[in-house]
Structure 1
Amino acid sequence: MTTEDGPVIVFDGVCLLCSRWVDFILRHDRDGCFRLAAMQGNHGSSLLRTHGLSPDDPSSFLLVQGGHGYTDTDAISRVLRQLGGGWTFVSGLLRAVPRFLRDPAYRWIARHRYRLFGRREQCRLPDAALAVRFLD
């Protein structure tokens, strides 16, 4: 599976907040549009480097779609909009907040994610039924 198979979300596999975000995606992406790659894996770290983010401790989550990398709240908004339904409205609310306010708030949370939400000892492993959605 490659990034040509659909949009890819790169996430921190040991971050508990990021794991909840992955659970949210898996629950609401009923069509299986999004692929997932932990930053600790080969695909995830390669995508982060390609799009100018550090694979050791990125300050943002990454959405790669159509050859473009989206970060911060733009990435979150794009994901929510593509989930459809009420999430399209939530995406619009997020985008109504000026970027100069929403992105610094997001980056502050991203920098402090382990202290605020905790971390796992090892990278999250997908359930067998969902393994096809993960790149590594």
Structure 2
Amino acid sequence: MSDKKIILFDGVCNLCNGFVQFVIKRDKKDVFRYAALQSEIGQRLISERNIDTTKIDSVVLIEPGIAYYIKSNAALQIGRHIKGYRTISKVLKLIPSGLRNIVYDLIARYRYAWFGKKEACMIPTPELKAKFLD
């Protein structure tokens, strides 16, 4: 499992859940594993890295033993592993992260208003359960 990259996401956010579903469908090389930020393992992984969830509360990418990425850097790192999105990720990476994060933060701030919110975290189907960390 240590070779898998971990995507932590806001489990009650419709946009974040949609993003995870989007990645799962395109993760042909089985690169990623998933956990809700609100889950026990999500909280542990966040705590181990001293990530302030008052500032980062939507998507975090963890490459175990290497690094973690937040905000737009996380999204672009994820895109690098998805066929058809590698080039756009490389191009967007040319934009300074401060500018990218202005857009990212705007979307993150209004994601519940624009896309809605669930009452509880997504429960994966039996077929997808192996992709989610317990």
Do they fold alike, i.e. is TM over 0.5?
yes
- Residue type at the aligned position of 2:119: E
- The CA distance in 2 between the partners of 1:40 and 1:57, in whole Å, is 15
The equivalent residue for 1:117 is 115
Question: What pairs with 1:45-64 in structure 2 (closer than 5 Å)?
Answer: 45-55=43-53, 58-64=56-62
TM-score, scaled to structure 1: 0.88
Structure 1 unaligned regions, length at least 5: none
Q: Label 1:55 to 1:90 Cα distance change in 2 as closer, same or farther (>3 A).
A: same
Tell me the distance in 2 between the aligned counterparts of 1:60 and 1:22: 11
Shift in Å, 1:38? 0.5
Taking the TM superposition and a 5 Å limit, the aligned residue runs for 1:52-131 are: 52-55=50-53, 58-67=56-65, 68-83=67-82, 85-131=83-129
Q: Verify the 8 A CA contact 1:59 1:111 in the aligned structure 2.
A: no
Alignment-mate amino acid for residue 117 of structure 1: F
Q: Distance in 2 between matches of 1:89 and 1:5?
A: 23
Query: Which deviates more, 57-66 or 32-41?
Result: 57-66
Higher helix share: 1
Moved over 3 A (4+): 54-60
Q: Larger deviation: 9-18 or 66-75?
A: 66-75
SS of 2:18's partner is helix
Flag structure 2 segments of 5+ consecutive residues without an equivalent.
Answer: none
| Contact kept in structure 2, 1:62 and 1:72, CA below 8 Å | yes
CA distance in 2, matches of 1:118, 1:64: 26
Tell me, yes or no, if the aligned pair for 1:8 and 1:64 is still in contact at 8 Å.
Answer: yes
Matched-pair contact (CA < 8 Å) for 2:16–2:58: no
Q: Percent identity between the aligned chains?
A: 35
CA RMSD of aligned residues (A): 1.8
- Residue 127 of structure 1: how far off its partner (Å): 0.8
- Judge conservation of contact 2:8–2:36 (CA < 8 Å) in 1: yes
Say whether the 8 Å CA contact 2:11–2:121 is kept in structure 1. yes
Deviation at residue 63 of structure 1 after TM alignment? 0.4
1:74-103 CA distance string (max 9 Å, x none):
1111111112x3211111122122212101
* Total equivalences in the alignment: 133
